[in-house]
Homo-oligomer: A and B are copies of this chain.
Amino acid sequence: MLAGRQRAIARAITLAESNTAQSRELIRAVYPHTGRAHVVGITGVPGSGKSTLTRVLAQEAQRAGSGDGLKIGILAVDPSSPFTGGALLGDRIRMNELSSNPRIFIRSMATRGSLGGLAHAALDAVDVLDAAGCDLIIIETVGVGQDEVDIARAAHTVVVVSAPGLGDDIQAIKSGILEIADIHAVSKCDKPESARTIADLKNMLMGDPSFSHEEGAWHAPVVGTSAETGAGVSELLQKIFAHRAHLAHHADGAARARARAETRVLKIAEDAVRATFARQSKGDFSGLIDALVKRDMNPHDAADVLLAGMSHRE
């Protein structure tokens, strides 16, 4: 895997997804080899065109650099359904175009069930891709849901994709993720409505009370892109590299590195709580649940009992 063999990478990610004692051993072994890749989170609401943009950006990035170009990892975090057994988005099919390029590794990761674990598994997979020598890792997530947004935030550079002309409900949800953008990409800029979306975003950013006037502060640029015409894709990649350079020479970089490490640990700890709970609620914890249902016990005291038993993981 460390030599960058695609099948070994795929197997390592599958192991990471299993969240077992073995997968933890894998990450313990892999982690010292990480820290070299630049991780880009691409997020946006459903319909924003982020999958298509991910595809064209990956192709552009692969051609960057000297010689054979850069080595790219793509992690697409998909909504999935037990009715269909997997991802539904048509964009996934177009993603397959990329997989013929030996210097682009693509992996889809389905949204998990109620036991969660998506963020933890995705961030473990990023470690695997990093250790396997990827120069640039793109994590594409839908920008709704705590776990999905946390995954995007755990990148070095967060690109939030906005599409022109989406409905109000969609915009309302989108507004919750605009704040995490290091770079704003407006998709479908071949459409005339996109000029309005770009102007709206710029206005919003100028009115942001957290706008920093400090010298050298990063101000999220707004880039119009079109997967159709290829416009703006190269500019977007340049902005990503500019942000990487900013992080290397500014205190933001160290802060981001700490925040990423914190998210990793927190997501692992949350998963451990859920796993312990799932095991215990069928076992030792069963009587406590009965008492809760009968109102003989209250949920806060029950949570204290659960947490007191958390010092051992299986």
Seen from chain A, the residues whose Cβ lies within 8 Å of a Cβ on chain B are 24, 27-28, 31-32, 34-35, 45-47, 78-84, 87-90, 111, 114, 116, 118, 123, 142, 144-150, 153, 167-173, 175-176, 178-179, 204, 207-208, 210, 254, 257-258, 261-262, 264-266, 268-270, 272-274, 277, 281, 288-290, 292-293, 295, 298-304, 306-308, 310-311, 313
Nearest B-chain residue to A33, judged by Cβ: B295
* CB of A271, distance to nearest CB on chain B (Å): 8
Cβ contacts under 8 Å, A78 to chain B: 172
A257 touches B27 (CB 8 A): no
Not counting A46-B170, A145-B147, A270-B274, a sample of 16 additional A-B residue pairs whose C-beta atoms are within 8 angstroms of each other reads A32-B298, A46-B169, A46-B172, A46-B173, A79-B144, A79-B172, A81-B172, A87-B172, A144-B144, A145-B145, A258-B290, A261-B293, A264-B302, A265-B288, A269-B277, A307-B311
Q: How many copies does the complex hold?
A: 2
Contacts of A270 in B (CB 8 A): 270, 273-274
Given contacts A31-B298, A167-B47, contact A273 B269 (CB under 8 A): yes
Contact of A80 among B123, B176, B307 (CB under 8 A): B176
A297 → B minimal CB distance (Å): 8
**Cβ contacts under 8 Å, A311 to chain B:** 307-308, 310-311
Distance in Å from the Cβ of A28 to the closest Cβ of chain B?
A: 5
Which of A24, A176, A254 has the largest number of chain B CB atoms within 10 A?
A: A176
Structural contact, A295 and B142, CB atoms closer than 8 A:
no
Q: Which residue of B lies closest to A268 (CB)?
A: B303
CA A255 to CA B167, docked complex, whole Å? 39
Residues of B within 8 A of A307 (CB): 269, 272-273, 310-311, 313
Contact A300 B145 (CB under 8 A): no
